[in-house]
Structure formats: C-alpha cells, structure tokens
A = this chain, B = another copy of it.
Amino acid sequence: MSSIGTLFRVTLFGESHGPGVGAVVEGVPAGTKVDLDAMRHELARRRPGQSKLSTQRKEEDEPEILSGVLHGAATGAPLTILIRNTDVDSRPYDATRDLPRPGHADFTAWAKWGAARDHRGGGPFSARLTAPLVAAGALARRILGGVRIAGHVVAAGGIEVPRELTFEQILKADAHPTRCADPKTADLIEHAIMRARSEADSIGGVVECRAEGVPAGWGGPGSAGLESELGRAMFAIPAAKGVEFGAGFRAAGMRGSAHNDPFEVDAAGKITTRTNHAGGILGGISTGMPIVFRVAFKPVASLPRPQDTVNLSTKKPAVIETKGRHDPCVVPRAVPIVEAAAACVLADLKLLAAADPPGGNR
C-alpha cells in the first residue's frame, strides 16, 4: 500500500495538479512538539525555484494541520498535513494526454488505470508528493531527538566527489546551490547542470545520506532490517533507481579481509568498529556507527526538446515536446527528501525498539 512504517506510519496522498498533497502521520507520540517553522524550513529546502538551478514553479508550500495537533503539540491521534497546490497550470498536459513522455509514468499509469488516470503533470507519481514526506520528516526528526541526519550530493552528471567528507562538512552542503559539500566538485556540478539546461537536456546524480547517533540495536533480521526498510522508503522517491549501504556496490569488488570492520572499544568504553564499510548496519541492525547510504537518481525525464513517443489512442508514432517547468537536475532538491525518508524510517525503528528495548549494551 501507500504507507511506510509500522508504528510511525506515513500515508501520502495527492497529485501534482489536484487540490493539494498531504500525509496522514500515525504514531507521533503525544506531546511531541509540532514545529511548523521546522516543517517550513524543510519544505523550503525542497521547494523549486530556490536558485537558477531549478524550475521557477512557485509554490507556497504552507503546511496546514488538519488533525492531531493542539496548542503546538501532537495529541497522539493521527496527524494530517495538507499542502495546497497554489501554482497549478494544467493546460500543457491536456493537449498531450495521449502522448506519454519518455521516462515518465504517463504510459504505465495508463497501463494500470486506463482512461481514468490523472494525467496532469505526473498525477500521483509527481515529485510533488515528496512535499508532505518532507513535512513528515520534520516530525520524525523531532521524535529522533539526538539522531542527526544529513545528506549531500556526491555525484551528478558523471562528476563525483573524490574524497570522503566529514559529517561536519556534510552539514554545510546547503551552502552551495548544488548541495554538494565539496566546493570544487560543487562548482563543476553547477557548471554541468547549467550546460545540460542550455542544451535542453538533464543530468542525474547520487545523494549520500548519513545518520549519526543511532544506537546499536535498531532494526531486525530479514525484511525487518534497516536496509529493507530504508531501501523501500528510498525507492518510493520518484526517479530513485539505486540504493546502496556502506561500501555498497564497491563492496562487491572487495576482499572480505579488507571489507570486514574489526571491532574495538572506544575511549568511552563502547564497542565500535575501526572502519565502517558496513554503513552502520550488520544483519539489518544498527551497529552504533553512522548509518551511511547512497541513492542514485536518474536524469530528469522531462526535456524541453522533441522526443519520440506513441499516441495511446491511435497507436501511431508521435513526437512530444514537454512544455512544463522542470529542473535540469533533481539531486540538489532530492537531498532534503532523502533525509526526510530516512528520518521517517528511523523514527519508526526507534519506536519499535522502545517496544522491545535493546538488550546488549545494557
């Protein structure tokens, strides 16, 4: 179904060109402070039109709380967030209703739902649905307390950050419009984005996310594991086509002797690992080291150039030229989305761990 989480459960709804988008968030503990400014801050980070690098669609993205909050705190009941669509122009989509855009869900929405589908701007497949996810993420962060989550762009258009960055460096990724935390690479990526735009093209990229402060013992074996739960949530983000944890695909080329993270005791007497190729996860359960994962995003499918398609009614070849407003590269805006999805999953695992408290480090 359309939900993530067992105890902290987020159900998204809405469409790109309907009345709005929103989320029902269940499991917010009673008394949790609901900080609308924190929510607005995350929504602003996700919002298009922040820089010359992204689309100029203007959305106010003002979250309206429909339920579950009283006097600024969660009541314990389902918490509903609604974000109205205020700058909707559906006209470009009506003319091309029968012309599925390559790389978009237009064709598969038709295959699944036929004529009844909402064809306007991606309908329920739109990245617009990540707005309420980001709002829910702000709630999740509050639940997580001491856990800090930060993402940054580590690759785009074939350009990669050539070194591992510290968590403090990653925290400053917002300083650059690309959200790449390595200044030199950031400039190269910015250049690549501008060039793609000037060539009526787009590029993809990779977002890395780290969560610091997750204690050992969250998660579980099999499909209850951190990789399963985080992986599921990440692949629910539009345009995500790859997810890897720790050394990830690179691990596939490593020797066990190099990949295994030896255990040691740190200065505080806590058991930890010397390296973190595991990305903070062993057997689906957190080790206490930073959770580290990367999400690969395909290049934006909407291109302001003619592309080959097929007319769904006539079954004849056709050409479509997307007229909507779209970013040439989605990854800078994907950073707060990946963080939010991670926060939601981790908040759920924190509540699950509270129901069956970790036993080892006691």
Contacts and interface: CB of A to CB of B under 8 A. Distances in A.
A335 interface: no
Contact of A359 (B116, B281, B300, B352): B116
Contacts of A55: none
Contacts of A147: none
A312 B359 CA distance: 12
B66 A262 contact: no
Nearest to A309: B263
Interface in A297-318: 297-303, 305, 307-310, 312, 315-317
B247 A241 contact: yes
B111 A251 contact: no
Given A232-B228, A253-B155, A76 B356 contact: yes
7 contacts: A66-B82, A76-B112, A111-B288, A155-B253, A243-B243, A244-B296, A354-B355
Contact of A225 (B21, B26, B115, B235): B235
A355 B1 contact: no
Interface in A237-257: 238, 240-249, 251-257
A88 interface: no
Interface in A1-56: 1-4, 6-7, 9, 11-15, 18-22, 24, 26-27, 29-31
Given A2-B223, A13-B77, A109 B244 contact: no
A301 B278 CA distance: 11
Contact of A271 (B107, B206, B215): B107
Chain A interface bracket (under 10, 10 to 19, 20 to 34, 35 or more): 35 or more
Contacts of A188: none
A217 B256 CA distance: 41
Chain A contact residues, majority secondary structure: mixed
Contact of A262 (B6, B283, B308): B308
B308 A254 contact: no
A285 B201 contact: no
Contacts of A11: 11, 24, 26, 78
B301 A249 contact: no
Contacts of A278: 103, 298
Contacts of A63: none
Contact of A351 (B100, B356, B359): B356
A104 interface: yes
Given A1-B224, A359-B115, A124 B31 contact: no
